[in-house]
Structure 1
Amino acid sequence: MRAFFLLINFLLLFPIFGQDLPINSEVLMTIDSEEITVDEFMNVYEKNINLVQDKQQKSIKDYLDLYINYKLKLAEARSLGYDKKESYLSEYKGYKEQLIKNYLTDKKITEELLQEAYSRKLEEVKAQHILVRFNSQQDTRSKLNQIQALRNRFLNEDFETLRKEIHDGQSIFVEDLGYFSAFKMVYDFENAAYNTAVGEISQPFKTQFGYHVVKVLDKRRSRGKAEVAHIMIANNSKDTTQTPEQRINELHRLLLQGESFESLAKQYSDDKSSAANGGKLKPFASGEINSEIFVDTAFNLNEGEISTPIQSQFGWHIIKLYAQIPVEDFENIKYDLEQKVKRDSRSSIIKKKMIESLKKQYQIDAADLPTISNLFVYDNESKEWILKDTSKKQAQFIKIEDLIFTYDDFLVFLNKKSPKKLNGIQKSNFIAEQYGIFLEDQLLEYKKEQLPFENLEYAQILKEYEEGLLLFDIMQEKIWDGAKNDSTGLLAHYQEHINKFSSPAQLTASIARSSKKATLKKTKKLWENGSSNEAITSALNAKEQKVILSSGSFNIDDPLLPKQTQFTTGISSIYSLEDGYVLLNITALAPEKNLSFEASKGAVISSYQETLEKQWIQNLRKKYNFSVNNEMLEALSSKVSQ
């Protein structure tokens, strides 16, 4: 819930990124000692006014009331020490570390990697590979020789023969990988696959998993995304009139007879999240829906075509393809690509360029590597590094602008990173390697500390998240959990507002639907003569699907029922509905009724939370001193209304 709340808070309460520096620093209002400028408030107002649902709160003056309430809640959170809590500090630190990654980047190399990734998103590669794993540096030479020998066999022998002979699933893997595109494999493997021609086998290459060779079988353009609608009858459908398979076949026959796909989806699909929209799903690509048969069926349809019934692990489906959508333009998916680039091994390329840039941006004074190599020795008894000249412990080792790191700082770093066993060659290499890492780490840390002063956008986003966390924590304790845990208050609130908590009117009935009024006239006569639903289905649907029967309890607003109708028990008149007709055989009616406290507890809690929040805001407005520059407010209102 916290993540969702922070997202909504972020959208509703904060300005657009990348704005110019404030251009109006006049104070619009104060809350205790905090001053809010005209620019700060207007940024928020202009960003969020279209999201305000209540038209009465769209004016500057009314929106200011919402903003004051928000600022008062934050003032109370800080007053009560929510910003000092360990849970808050930990989450804020975690977010800051994630956010800062978006700003520690080299734009040129990032753009090149994005363009490469996009070109690969447009193409899928089908490949097979052999992997030989290794466990240590000493092991690599023999494993490289082994993969070379296996490549020679791969050139001349059948893949399946090799797989059966040498694949053990532990040290050697011989696998058919199917089709894949960018980001589906580690970057080095992806490079080898895309840079190898169809029918060719790559030279051996190394990843963190071991040594590979890859054979490219095919390359094809990406299938993009499919835009479909579906009708689903769940495996555990509540309708006991027929089995899910029988019901889906009935619906398919109706579709073949020309009935509306959208109308049938609205009335009969068990996927309620899409049924209201005629069965339409969000466009998806291969792998984005957890049913291979569903995805393959969708992509194999022509636009406008309807599938035969298929069964997935969720139930029975009929799919209609509206469109096959190619991979989006680069600009539309650039952000998503950028996040993926930064998460995989491509990020090491970006980091290298970033370090080069920082070395040019900041003034650095660093100790000479040959000199320091002789100052640090490895003690085999203690298994620790030692600084030979202890007088240098507090001497300057590296200086970045005005920030100084000592020889002792580097010594602590060395001992944290050092393995327990080092031979002579490894010792000299280790010092050089860790010296470079230490300098890079301190450069990046320095950049992080300077970033709020160098980048206004970053500073704004960080502040927004900080305030969002505070708001969530205090709302959870004071309002959300406060209401749920106040059993006495909840019961009193229920009793005071009992008429707010009721169940809708219901009816118990059999419902007959048909595209032809004459069919329902026959159904009505059969019901009047005492025929069962099963007998009616057999009689009327013998040659073609003429009628669909559903039985059970239905809310008055159910999409199967005609709107704004006064229902009575017995067999109804024939009503028009959507693009067809319905007939009801009602056996019982249940009026709207007040729910018990237990049955309505969720709604009671929600209502009680609203009441508590209103009372809380009233108290905060009394507790804190705040004032508004009314002259400035009037000027803003006049300007906005023009």
Structure 2
Amino acid sequence: MNYRALSALLAFILIVSPGAHTPKAIAQNQDEVLVDIGGKSVEKDELVYLLSKGKGASGTVTGVSREEFEENFQLFVNYKLKVREAESLGLDKTEEFNREFASFKETLIAPYLIKNSLEEGELRKAYSRMEEILRASHILFQFPPNASNEDSLIVLKMALKVKGEIENGGDINELALQYSDDPSAKTNKGDLGYFTSLQMVQPFEDAAFSLPLGKVSDPVLTNFGYHLIQVKDRQKNPGQVRVSHILVRFDPQNAGQEENARRKISDIYAEIQKENTIWEDIVKSYSEDPATKENGGILPWFGVGTMIPEFEMAAFSLTELGEVSPPLKTQYGYHILRLEDKKPLDSYEEMEESIRSRILRDSRSTMIQSQVVAIQKARYGFKENETSVDNLAAALNESAKSTFGGVLESKGLTSAELFTLQGKTYKASDLWKYMQEEEFVPRSKGGTFDIWYGRYIASILSQTEQMDLEANNKEYQMLLKEYRDGILLFSLMNQEVWQKGITDSLGQVEFYRKNISNYQWKNRVEAYLVKVLDLSKIDIGRKALQGNGFNPSVIQAFETNFKSTASLAFTTESGIFEYESHPILSKADLGLSYQEISVDGTTYLINLGQKLPAEPRKFEESRGLVIRDYQEFLDKSLTDKLKEKYPVKVNQNVKEEAFIALNQ
């Protein structure tokens, strides 16, 4: 069963959208007990929660009528009866249930976790930044290989010196030529062109988006070194553009080649200006981009910061669809661009998953996880035994995972304390047990103890947060319990009603015989109906059908003929129909074997055959209806049986409180 199936089931059972409550029993308050079902209490809040969700999902006005309340209350009781039976049958103890519930639980808990709110904040911040584009220049000061602290300090002092030169009137682009360790500075003088959020490493982005225009930043540390950044321009994000292009290549080291390419692109541009020239033909004849020359030169959609700056600026400067740019030079050659389409920045909702994917792939994911752990530590009273942890790190960081346990025992460190959390002490032996159970291959550099200890802390804190939610968050408790009960309900219904209704052929036949009055044909007639879609072809139909009545060979001949000569002129329908309720045949004269009638402005040619009186349907003719009705019968029988098995005691006072709560 999947999420969608469970959602549909709960909506059907209680006219609500999917929701919840915990696997643990929520502490029962007798003043809140709405109904006792076979000795198990159900609180008022569960009914109020479910009906409130259903009300919100349907968009109805606040409040529920007495009639609606009573109807839904009975559906609720029937629902809880079935859950009670599923528990009695042990369906909540099966491997399938545990696997499925664990899968749902992992999805359901996500919105309640600290991590979710932090991720949401980063997503919103990233999208907010995407609404504008920056143009910035930078100077990079790289560290030497295997840099010491002293080396790093020297690099920082150099960055501060150059910052002073800029603040005293120096030009960052000229100074980039002199000082920058970024290889591209030789050609772009440190000008990065326009960019937006998630296109630079996080520290660089954070600094750039916080800078006023023209102000030079303090040295910004990234994995590349120290950067000085100056923002030259800010604009609203123009969204995305799609262009087609013509490319003429040349070797940058060959001046003669470049001159020939420049002349060729000029000639092409002149050709494009002539009337009646076809862009696609020009592209196919002259473009030297093999990936696009056969499809009119069309490139994929792109936004700011994804193409080389000069190409990008030329593309976004085009304003009218079909507008052609003058020739421009890039590192790839000479181009002519034509604007194919433009569109604004997508909405947050459209970009949310893409932004999430990009954030979780860069350094922000590590930052978010660090923040999560810090909040969890503060919330749940994490206290580390720093001395013990330092000793363990010194003893175990050089050990491989395979020898970790042996070293731990040989040095008598298995009982060494790591930390306490909510009054419980965790020891080195607990860490070793965790390491044995986890299939994890460290990818980051560091000592064995440090890597596994950090991972272990995160795991324990995550479990603690989940247990805290189950114990103290009423909304999550409700949500979890509803899904738990929904899975049990689905399993019981599938076992006792749905599959049985489909596979119990003897039961189907017996049910059919006892209820044969429900499976009756009304008066019927053999009929061939031809709907005329093209009146200019109506004579074809008349000639073929007139005077023949319901004749299978005539019908077959007509079908064969019109499909080959007038396939769009007619649609046809053939069979035995209950004519009294039929939208076309109810208006026909059953005494005529052939007739033409008009219904709602459409002409029909009709051939009629034998009339058949009302009579019982055969079982084979009614099988689909019988299965449906048999399943409804099994469902009602199950509910009636459960009401006898599990006495239902309703607290009328609490029931009235539930009604009042829903109408406040």
Give the TM bin, normalised by the shorter chain: 0.5 to 0.7
Q: Identify the match of residue 408 of structure 1 among 395, 404, 429.
A: 429
Asked if structure 1 preserves the Cα contact closer than 8 Å seen for 2:547 and 2:594, the reply is no
Asked if structure 1 preserves the Cα contact closer than 8 Å seen for 2:497 and 2:634, the reply is yes
Call closer, same or farther: CA 1:496–1:471 in 2, change over 3 Å. Answer: same
Partner secondary structure for residue 87 of structure 2: helix
Call closer, same or farther: CA 1:588–1:338 in 2, change over 3 Å. Answer: farther
For 1:484-525, what per-residue CA distance to the aligned partner results, in whole angstroms no more than 9, with x for missing partners? 343322221122223434678574425142587x98689657
Q: CA deviation at 1:631?
A: 5.1
Partner secondary structure for residue 564 of structure 1: helix
Q: CA deviation at 1:459?
A: 1.4
Call closer, same or farther: CA 1:397–1:42 in 2, change over 3 Å. Answer: closer
For 1:538-559, what per-residue CA distance to the aligned partner results, in whole angstroms no more than 9, with x for missing partners? 9x99xxx9x9223441575999
Call closer, same or farther: CA 1:156–1:433 in 2, change over 3 Å. Answer: farther
Report matched runs for 1:266-415 at 5 Å. Answer: 330=348, 350-368=368-386, 369-376=389-396, 383-385=403-405, 386-387=407-408, 390-414=411-435
Q: CA deviation at 1:47?
A: 3.9
Q: Identify the match of residue 514 of structure 2 among 461, 486, 496.
A: 496
Structure 1: which amino acid aligns with 2:93? K
Asked if structure 2 preserves the Cα contact closer than 8 Å seen for 1:508 and 1:553, the reply is yes
Q: CA deviation at 1:338?
A: 8.8
Call closer, same or farther: CA 1:78–1:379 in 2, change over 3 Å. Answer: same
Q: CA deviation at 1:454?
A: 3.8
Whether 1:44 aligns to 2:50 is: yes
Q: Identify the match of residue 39 of structure 2 among 29, 33, 38.
A: 33
Which one has a larger percent helix, Structure 1 or Structure 2?
2
Q: CA deviation at 1:377?
A: 6.5
Call closer, same or farther: CA 1:534–1:497 in 2, change over 3 Å. Answer: closer
Asked if structure 1 preserves the Cα contact closer than 8 Å seen for 2:81 and 2:642, the reply is yes
Structure 1 residue ranges without an equivalent (≥5): 124-146, 165-175, 182-192, 202-214, 222-299, 302-323
Q: Identify the match of residue 464 of structure 1 among 457, 473, 482.
A: 482
Moved more, 439-448 or 498-507: 498-507
Q: Identify the match of residue 570 of structure 2 among 543, 549, 564.
A: 549
Q: Which residue of 1 aligns with 2:532?
A: 513
- Give the number of aligned pairs: 468
Whether 1:438 aligns to 2:448 is: no
Distance 1:39 1:635 in 2: 10
Distance 2:643 2:439 in 1: 58
Partner secondary structure for residue 582 of structure 1: strand
Q: CA deviation at 1:465?
A: 0.5
Partner secondary structure for residue 59 of structure 1: helix
Report matched runs for 1:92-491 at 5 Å. Answer: 92-104=101-113, 105-114=115-124, 116=126, 179=300, 195-199=305-309, 330=348, 350-368=368-386, 369-376=389-396, 383-385=403-405, 386-387=407-408, 390-414=411-435, 429-491=447-509
Call closer, same or farther: CA 1:161–1:627 in 2, change over 3 Å. Answer: same
Q: Which residue of 1 aligns with 2:336?
A: none
Q: CA deviation at 1:72?
A: 1.1
Partner secondary structure for residue 572 of structure 1: strand
Q: Which residue of 1 aligns with 2:277?
A: none
Distance 1:497 1:122 in 2: 70
Call closer, same or farther: CA 1:506–1:348 in 2, change over 3 Å. Answer: farther
Q: CA deviation at 1:463?
A: 0.7
Whether 1:627 aligns to 2:649 is: yes
Whether 1:609 aligns to 2:631 is: yes
Distance 2:403 2:47 in 1: 59
Distance 1:62 1:2 in 2: 28
Call closer, same or farther: CA 1:338–1:467 in 2, change over 3 Å. Answer: farther
Asked if structure 2 preserves the Cα contact closer than 8 Å seen for 1:490 and 1:608, the reply is yes
Asked if structure 2 preserves the Cα contact closer than 8 Å seen for 1:393 and 1:406, the reply is yes
Asked if structure 2 preserves the Cα contact closer than 8 Å seen for 1:117 and 1:337, the reply is no
Q: Which residue of 2 aligns with 1:564?
A: 586
Please provide the CA RMSD for this pair.
Answer: 5.6
Greater RCO (CA < 8 Å, at least 6 residues apart):
2
Q: CA deviation at 1:473?
A: 1.0
Report matched runs for 1:68-87 at 5 Å. Answer: 68-87=77-96
Distance 1:381 1:329 in 2: 47
Structure 2: which amino acid aligns with 1:549? F
Call closer, same or farther: CA 1:15–1:400 in 2, change over 3 Å. Answer: farther
Report matched runs for 1:60-75 at 5 Å. Answer: 60-75=69-84
Q: CA deviation at 1:435?
A: 2.2
Distance 2:251 2:117 in 1: 41
Call closer, same or farther: CA 1:615–1:380 in 2, change over 3 Å. Answer: closer
Asked if structure 2 preserves the Cα contact closer than 8 Å seen for 1:515 and 1:580, the reply is no
Structure 2: which amino acid aligns with 1:61? E
Structure 2: which amino acid aligns with 1:6? L
Q: CA deviation at 1:2?
A: 5.3
Q: Which residue of 2 aligns with 1:576?
A: 599
Distance 2:462 2:44 in 1: 35
Structure 1: which amino acid aligns with 2:532? R
Asked if structure 1 preserves the Cα contact closer than 8 Å seen for 2:384 and 2:419, the reply is yes
Partner secondary structure for residue 606 of structure 1: helix
Structure 2: which amino acid aligns with 1:98? T
Structure 2: which amino acid aligns with 1:40? E
Q: CA deviation at 1:594?
A: 4.8
Asked if structure 1 preserves the Cα contact closer than 8 Å seen for 2:414 and 2:429, the reply is yes
Q: Which residue of 1 aligns with 2:278?
A: none
Call closer, same or farther: CA 1:74–1:99 in 2, change over 3 Å. Answer: same
Asked if structure 2 preserves the Cα contact closer than 8 Å seen for 1:571 and 1:584, the reply is yes
Distance 1:24 1:200 in 2: 74
Structure 2: which amino acid aligns with 1:602? G
Partner secondary structure for residue 460 of structure 1: helix
Percent identical across equivalent pairs?
20
Distance 2:81 2:663 in 1: 27
Distance 1:154 1:469 in 2: 66
Distance 2:361 2:317 in 1: 24
Distance 1:339 1:371 in 2: 39
Call closer, same or farther: CA 1:561–1:449 in 2, change over 3 Å. Answer: same
Q: TM-score, normalised by structure 2?
A: 0.56
Structure 1: which amino acid aligns with 2:458? E
Structure 2: which amino acid aligns with 1:34? K
Structure 2: which amino acid aligns with 1:619? K
Structure 1: which amino acid aligns with 2:392? I
Mark the structure with the bigger radius of gyration. 2
Distance 1:591 1:478 in 2: 38
Asked if structure 1 preserves the Cα contact closer than 8 Å seen for 2:588 and 2:597, the reply is no
For 1:533-580, what per-residue CA distance to the aligned partner results, in whole angstroms no more than 9, with x for missing partners? 699979x99xxx9x9223441575999963632453532132132x43
Q: TM-score, normalised by structure 1?
A: 0.57
